[in-house]
């Protein structure tokens, strides 16, 4: 039995070695002198970007030209944009500029999208403008976990929501809070023990 399992594991490794993983080519074009913080999964990133087709250099999108010169927010590590962005924009500093070359399997794949034909390798020039803690970040968890026991009680989640809503100028009444907290626990407290653990709270990073 043991031998069969070992053999299966070996075969799986060999298979993985034979099929090359698609990779994002990352080139750091410009790096700031000061870097207080680097991007990680769960962070919200404010970026300016230009995207080009590798095939003929056509620019298919630019936040400078097509978005009134407004950068856009996106959350790293949750497949909000294409997979190539999640892989290529980690450990990045505010003010850093990167060039990414992303194979189609980590972009829009066999389908393509809009101006992007199927099977297109894409080139992005990305300028990181700002980083914020995402709602699922380690920092948010610590902020919510008032007694530092690495799990969130309903009281802790409620207290956090209260201050958040007050900060943003839209306080809620007790009943509304109760309903919101219950719905959060319904979704997030997977093992229904009445607490949201750090594992239940944070993103599963492995699947990227």
Ligand X SMILES: *[C@@H]1O[C@H](CO)[C@@H](O)[C@H](O)[C@H]1NC(C)=O
Q: Which residues contact 160 (CB under 8 A, 6 or more apart)?
A: 143, 144
- Asked if 53 is part of the footprint of ligand X (rule: CB under 6 A), the reply reads yes
- Asked if 170 is part of the footprint of ligand X (rule: CB under 6 A), the reply reads no
- Asked if 85 is part of the footprint of Ca ion (rule: CB under 5 A), the reply reads no
Binds 176: which of Ca ion, ligand X, none (CB < 5-8 Å by kind):
ligand X
Q: Where are any strands of DSSP class E within 107-146? A: 122-132
- Asked if 192 is part of the footprint of ligand X (rule: CB under 6 A), the reply reads no
- Asked if 66 is part of the footprint of Ca ion (rule: CB under 5 A), the reply reads no
**Cα 43 from Cα 85, distance rounded (Å):** 13
Position among 85, 124, 195, 201 found at the interface with Ca ion (CB under 5 A):
195
3-state secondary structure of 112: coil
Task: Burial-class residue 117 by CB neighbours within 10 Å (0-12, 13-18, 19+).
Answer: middle
If the CB atoms of residues 49 and 185 are measured against Ca ion, the closer one turns out to be 185
- Asked if 163 is part of the footprint of ligand X (rule: CB under 6 A), the reply reads no
CB 154 within 8 A of CB 178: no
- Give start and end residues of each alpha helix (H) in 94-194: 138-144, 154-167, 174-188
- Asked if 56 is part of the footprint of ligand X (rule: CB under 6 A), the reply reads yes
Position among 173, 187, 206, 207 found at the interface with ligand X (CB under 6 A):
173
Position among 22, 71, 109, 117 found at the interface with ligand X (CB under 6 A):
117
| Region 173-192 residues binding Ca ion, contact defined as CB under 5 A | 189, 191
- Asked if 149 is part of the footprint of Ca ion (rule: CB under 5 A), the reply reads no
CB 151 within 8 A of CB 196: yes
Q: Which residues contact 27 (CB under 8 A, 6 or more apart)?
A: 98, 99, 100, 101
Binds 68: which of ligand X, Ca ion, none (CB < 5-8 Å by kind):
none
Binds 170: which of Ca ion, ligand X, none (CB < 5-8 Å by kind):
none
Nearest-approach distance from CB 137 to ligand X, in angstroms: 30
CB 150 within 8 A of CB 198: yes
Residues that bind ligand X (CB under 6 A): 53, 55-56, 58, 117, 173-176
Q: Point out which residues bind Ca ion (CB under 5 A).
A: 189, 191, 193, 195
């Amino acid at each position: 039995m043991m031998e069969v399992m070992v053999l299966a594991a070996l075969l799986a490794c060999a298979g993985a070695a034979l099929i090359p993983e698609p990779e994002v080519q990352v080139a750091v074009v410009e790096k700031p002198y000061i870097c207080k913080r680097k991007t990680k999964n769960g962070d919200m990133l404010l970026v300016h970007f230009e995207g080009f087709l590798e095939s003929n250099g056509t620019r298919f999108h630019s936040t400078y030209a097509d978005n009134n010169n407004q950068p856009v927010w996106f959350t790293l590590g949750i497949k909000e944009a294409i997979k190539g962005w999640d892989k290529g924009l980690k450990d990045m500093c505010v003010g850093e500029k990167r060039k990414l070359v992303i194979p189609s399997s980590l972009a829009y794949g066999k389908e393509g999208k809009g101006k992007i034909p199927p099977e297109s390798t894409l080139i992005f020039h990305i300028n990181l403008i700002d980083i914020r803690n995402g709602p699922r970040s380690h920092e948010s968890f610590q902020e919510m976990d008032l007694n530092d026991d690495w799990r969130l009680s309903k009281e802790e989640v409620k207290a956090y929501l209260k201050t958040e809503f007050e900060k943003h100028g839209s306080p809620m009444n007790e009943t509304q809070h109760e309903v919101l907290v219950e719905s959060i626990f319904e979704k997030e407290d997977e093992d229904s023990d009445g607490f949201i653990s750090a594992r239940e709270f944070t993103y599963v990073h492995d699947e990227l």
